[in-house]
Structure 1
């Protein structure tokens, strides 16, 4: 295989997986680790990937890389729908229940299902609290739900309400379950997101809830972004679409996190 052809295949692999290790690439192409590192240097110079310790990541996996809400809505849609179905089953069927919905496209898939929610028994109530403007609009059409929206500053990129007022309000709440999104879930770094202000809001949600359920498709597993907002020990359940890699699986087990495959 010519070097140019190998470069193209490496770039395609990293783009599809989000990351690849030096050892993995050396074995896949039957080349030395030194050759892999030279290939990664060439690809980084052309902007097709970014080298990190032990391998490379796709450009959109950098610590501060963040797509807008609209750009993310069409990605991994099948996985997000499966996660939403599994998450819906976790909502308790009790006379009174309260849930907190974080802003994000995976949590939005759950919100879409809740837009059609109706009580299992007459008189049952479900209070949904969210910091997402689009979710509030969608959920507001269901008169069978009770809906609260967190107040504060709106972050344009994600349409999420964030900031000091939001975190203060969340500190005075104790919902039954918080459904939280994440840009990265890593065995050492924990749960992360690129923006510090949005991270602070997520931290407040995690601390507020009696139970924390993270909704994340397989592309988020093993990833790290700029700001940690929770450790693995602070979450109760991870709903995802693939078995975590061994290191992450071990860390989740050690932290007592239940992994639900959708």
Structure 2
């Protein structure tokens, strides 16, 4: 079991049971107690747990469980692949520049970048940066900061400040939710600040999100519909949601 999968399991168990035991989990998962303590440290850092002697209890501030990478990778995978293929048509011409947000749909987009298409690519997402290293035509720049365990993306003031002097052709952006009233939103304040900085440094903003993202909203908004140029989604989007985007002059691409 990968660390991200194990941490997701621990987060779900914590939400269901309210407490976790290091000794019991180490025995159940056949890992060391130190490994479980590191996992719990990640959950505590992301506001999902409070460590106590021998284990952890659920954070009182926990109101929603943000899915981890392992869960999000397998959710709506077909739709995400179609969205990524459509979004690839919006890549800039040779020698253009893009900034890539964290997210599993964005990861699918990386698979669509031609091996012979020179691009400058900037990202704060560790798994996406790792995939980009295999594309010889990409001039890769990785943004630093504190890495969140849930998204494997760098966040914090260091990351935000590093975008201040940049101006790229296209920002490919992910979101946890989208509504006309609250715009694009996410459960984490630092993640929202990072996404807000990504939006501000691009000439064109392209959102990649499957239609399930229109079902609610999260606490921290990082962009309004007016900040978006193109929204690429699947055919599960409702006519009302299309109309709401188009009312803000957003081009909607349905796959």
TM-score computed with the length of structure 1 as normaliser = 0.71
- Residues 179-190 of structure 1: pairs in structure 2 closer than 5 A: 179-190=172-183
User: Partners of 1:193 and 1:176 in 2: how far apart?
Assistant: 24
Aligned twin of 1:34: none
Report the equivalent of 1:90: 90
In 2, distance between residues paired with 1:89 and 1:166? 28
Q: Which digits, 9 at most, give the CA deviation of each residue in 1:24-76, with x for residues without a partner?
A: xxxxxxxxxxxxxxxxxxxxxxxxxxxxxxxxxxxxxx973311111110111
TM-score calculated relative to the size of structure 2 = 0.73
Whole-Å separation in 1 of the counterparts to 2:63 and 2:195:
17
> How far apart, in 2, do the equivalents of 1:244 and 1:218 lie?
5
Contact 2:122 2:142 (8 Å CA) reproduced: yes
- The count of aligned residue pairs is 194
Choose 247-256 or 178-187, whichever is displaced more. 247-256
Unmatched 5+ stretches in structure 2: 1-61
Bigger CA radius of gyration? 1
Match of 1:25 in 2: none
Matches of residues 79-158 of structure 1 in structure 2 within 5 Å?
Answer: 79-94=79-94, 96-114=95-113, 116-119=114-117, 125-158=118-151
Does the Cα contact within 8 Å between 1:222 and 1:248 map onto a contact in 2?
A: no
Where in structure 1 do 4 or more consecutive aligned residues deviate above 2 Å?
62-65, 242-251
Displacement, 1:188?
1.1
2:211·2:233 contact (CA, 8 Å) conserved in 1? yes
Would you say 1:202 and 2:200 are equivalent positions? Answer: no
Structure 1, unaligned runs of 5 or more: 1-61, 120-124
Q: Whole-Å Cα distance in 1 between the matches of residues 82 and 63 of structure 2? A: 27
- Conservation of the 8 A alpha-carbon contact between 2:102 and 2:153: yes
Structure 1 residue 157: deviation in Å? 1.1
How far has the Cα of 1:145 moved from its partner? 1.1
